[in-house]
A and B are shown apart, each in its own frame.
Chain A
Amino acid sequence: MIELTATELLALQASGKASAVEIADAFLAATQAREPKLRSFTSLDADAIRGQAAAVDAKRAAGKPLGKLAGVPVAIKDVLCTKGVATTCSSKMLKNFVPPYDAHVVERLRAEDAILFGKTNMDEFAMGSSTENSAFQTTRNPWDTDRIPGGSSGGSAACVAGCQAPLSLGTDTGGSIRQPAALCGIVGIKPTYGRVSRYGLIAFASSLDQVGPFAHDVTDSALLLEAISGHDGRDSTCVDQPVPEYRKTLNDPMKGLRIGVPREFFDKGLDSEVEGSVRAALKEYEKQGATLVDVSLPHSKYALAAYYIIAPAEASSNLARFDGMHYGHRTAQKTDLIGTYAKSRGEGFGKEVQRRIMIGTYVLSSGYADKYYHKALKVRRLVKKDYDDALATCDVVMGPTTPTAAFKAGEKSDDPLAMYLSDVYTVSCNLAGIPGLSIPCGFTKAGLPIGLQLLGKPFDEEKLLRIARMYEAATDWHTRRPKV
């Protein structure tokens, strides 16, 4: 049962072949068995999960209307606030933080009768690309447990790929959904900036962060995206625009599809096996009648540099709130007020978070803000214009999600810059605010998953999902499950 999709689990319940409690028990058993290897979760409350499942079964038995995720377990990245349940950001700083409210997306899941299935491990405060920056544990890739699952939403990706939960939520600031989805062989979506409310998402870089789904296939991703999208007045950047029923049009192939292939995404640094799989995927689209268009994103080579100024700048400002006064870690050492701030932050934050706060503070400091921060904002404009221009000539831009398949744990953890380079194809999407998704498109000879990235115009999720489904319907990568 654990290898089924959410759509299949809904059908099982509708036909009376399985109850929500039976489903929850199956995933709890799988999680218990696999967790020593994968370490996807920061917390999981089996009794609370069974309680929610029993409530869904009772609702069904009483003939009451059920939400679109009724009885389906959904794991939640530990950066999203859950009322009464610890929300740690995988940081010592928030080790004991229990939010008094739910994030908007968590409210949406409850409203759709989903089973909130534990909190997932991540790079501390969502800063990282391997989940090795968690203060608690390193999550491993279900396809090869010597390797990392990607990050920062590594726990959310690993638990779906490893069949511990059929669905999960992650967040994506520079690739933190798409990169782990690619490295774990599942589907991950970063919605358009403003599509999903950020209320209750503990902020990393507010102009880049977005919540999105992980799932085994495109249909399940569409289902979860439908459930979490929509307007929320508590996030003023959340746009009031109707949410299409993505699943309705999913199986209508696009006629006359034009695919932009940016030459900059096939440059040096791209692993040849990854390139081979991505090119083969493009061929499959051509076979279905699509036209490949050569496009250029001339400023994409500057996107990573701009990102590693803008994201730390916003982070240094957002993380100023962790001062040990109202919540979070406070030092036990006796000192004055400023000393308490500085010691609490020195003790509570891990090394990567401290590094980003330092970079951010430096690039915003008097005398350097023009040279770094304002310069990066101008480059951001150019990166966005590249996409506007490219997407004016085609329906979608496609390329690899990551330059290589999953790397070994420890391989890049001492070299921050090498780690940053694994985001080279994903950060520009966040700078531009456009939607992006990653779908499985093959495996390396060593058996590691490879991801195909699709990027579209703002609020074009419906079209992106249809295009993704065209490829998925012709291939079976999404049906494979790792032996854990």
Chain B
Amino acid sequence: MSLTLDQVRKVATLARLELPEDDLVRMQSQLSAILDYVAQLDELNTDGVEPLAHPLPIQNVFRPDVPTPSLLPNEALQNAPKREKGSDYFSVPAVFDSDEPVSH
């Protein structure tokens, strides 16, 4: 099954990966080869087979609802790519354009 360059571009957008054009072109042939390989599963009849997402037969795992220590704000922030000096906040790019009305 071969992918078109547009499909590769669409998947890259979905995956939030900005890639140079020549990477996308290389990806097109590599992904097509991999999809061709995995297409061999089509020869197998799996009607009525229950999917297996997980090897253990465990269902829900509960624990008592007891508060336990978590990271201190400073620990949680120590790897932030950007943070406001002296604050307990991560600094991120603007989500909205400044002239766009924001509803609350």
Which A residues form the contact surface with B (CB < 8 A)?
96-98, 100-101, 193-194, 207, 233, 236-237, 239, 299, 302, 305-306, 308-309, 316, 320, 323-330, 335-343, 345-346, 349, 351, 354-355, 357-362, 365, 372, 374-382, 384, 416-417, 420, 431-434, 458
Q: State which size class the interface on B falls in.
A: 35 or more
Given contacts A207-B53, A342-B16, A378-B51, whether A100 and B78 have CB atoms under 8 Å apart is yes
Given contacts A378-B49, A381-B52, A384-B52, whether A357 and B93 have CB atoms under 8 Å apart is no
Q: Is the CB of A354 within 8 A of B19?
A: yes
Which residues of A are found within 8 Å of B30, using beta-carbon distances?
A: 355, 416
| Contact of B80 with A by CB under 8 A | yes
A359 to B11, CA, bound (A): 9
Closest to A94 in B: B79
Q: Is the CB of B81 within 8 A of A330?
A: yes
Q: Is the CB of A384 within 8 A of B37?
A: no
| Contact of B61 with A by CB under 8 A | yes
Q: Is the CB of A100 within 8 A of B76?
A: yes
Q: Is the CB of B31 within 8 A of A327?
A: no
Q: Quick one: CB contact mask for B25-49 with A, threshold 8 Å, 1 for yes?
A: 0010011011101111110101001
A299 to B30, CA, bound (A): 25
How many residue pairs link A and B with beta carbons under 8 A? The number is 163
A376 to B11, CA, bound (A): 20
| Contact of B54 with A by CB under 8 A | yes
Q: List 21 A-B contacts (CB under 8 A).
A: A98-B79, A194-B58, A237-B54, A237-B61, A308-B37, A325-B90, A326-B76, A328-B79, A345-B17, A349-B17, A351-B23, A354-B27, A355-B31, A357-B15, A358-B15, A358-B31, A376-B38, A378-B49, A378-B52, A380-B52, A382-B49
Which B residues form the contact surface with A (CB < 8 A)?
3, 8, 11-19, 23, 27, 30-31, 33-35, 37-42, 44, 46, 49-56, 58, 61, 63, 71, 75-76, 78-82, 90, 92-95
With both chains docked as a complex, state the minimum distance between the C-beta of B48 and any C-beta of chain A, in angstroms. Answer: 9
Q: Is the CB of A308 within 8 A of B34?
A: yes
Return the contact of A372 from the options B38, B79, B82 (Cβ within 8 A).
Answer: B38
With both chains docked as a complex, state the minimum distance between the C-beta of B56 and any C-beta of chain A, in angstroms. Answer: 5
A335 to B27, CA, bound (A): 25
Given contacts A337-B93, A359-B34, whether A354 and B44 have CB atoms under 8 Å apart is no
Closest to A433 in B: B55
Q: Is the CB of B11 within 8 A of A365?
A: yes
Which residues of B are found within 8 Å of A326, using beta-carbon distances?
A: 76, 79-80, 90
Main secondary structure of the interface of B (DSSP, over half): loop
Given contacts A98-B79, A305-B41, A378-B46, whether A346 and B31 have CB atoms under 8 Å apart is no
With both chains docked as a complex, state the minimum distance between the C-beta of B47 and any C-beta of chain A, in angstroms. Answer: 9
Q: Is the CB of B93 within 8 A of A207?
A: no
A223 to B57, CA, bound (A): 28
Given contacts A326-B79, A417-B34, whether A346 and B19 have CB atoms under 8 Å apart is yes
Return the contact of B55 from the options A330, A340, A379, A432 (Cβ within 8 A).
Answer: A432
Closest to B81 in A: A330
A306 to B49, CA, bound (A): 14
| From B18, B41, B44, B95, residue with most partner A Cβ within 10 Å | B18
Q: Is the CB of A340 within 8 A of B93?
A: yes
Return the contact of A433 from the options B56, B61, B78 (Cβ within 8 A).
Answer: B56
Which residues of A are found within 8 Å of B49, using beta-carbon distances?
A: 378, 381-382
Q: Is the CB of A417 within 8 A of B33?
A: yes
Q: Is the CB of B50 within 8 A of A339?
A: no
A416 to B33, CA, bound (A): 9
A67 to B32, CA, bound (A): 52
Return the contact of B92 from the options A337, A357, A382 (Cβ within 8 A).
Answer: A337
List 11 other contacts, CB 8 Å, given A358-B27, A372-B38, A375-B46.
A97-B79, A100-B79, A194-B58, A233-B63, A239-B56, A239-B58, A328-B79, A340-B93, A342-B18, A375-B41, A380-B53
| From B8, B27, B49, B94, residue with most partner A Cβ within 10 Å | B49
Q: Is the CB of A327 within 8 A of B18?
A: no
With both chains docked as a complex, state the minimum distance between the C-beta of B23 and any C-beta of chain A, in angstroms. Answer: 8
The 7 A-B pairs with the shortest beta carbon distances in the complex, nearest first, are A433-B55, A377-B51, A327-B79, A330-B81, A342-B18, A381-B52, A378-B46
Closest to B13 in A: A342
Q: Is the CB of A346 within 8 A of B18?
A: yes
Which residues of A are found within 8 Å of B94, using beta-carbon distances?
A: 336-337
Q: Is the CB of B16 within 8 A of A327?
A: no
Which residues of A are found within 8 Å of B17, using beta-carbon distances?
A: 342, 345-346, 349, 354, 357-358
Which residues of A are found within 8 Å of B56, using beta-carbon distances?
A: 193-194, 237, 239, 433
Q: Is the CB of B31 within 8 A of A362?
A: yes
A339 to B92, CA, bound (A): 12
A376 to B46, CA, bound (A): 10
Q: Is the CB of B15 within 8 A of A379?
A: no
Which residues of A are found within 8 Å of B95, using beta-carbon distances?
A: 337
Return the contact of A384 from the options B14, B55, B92 (Cβ within 8 A).
Answer: B55
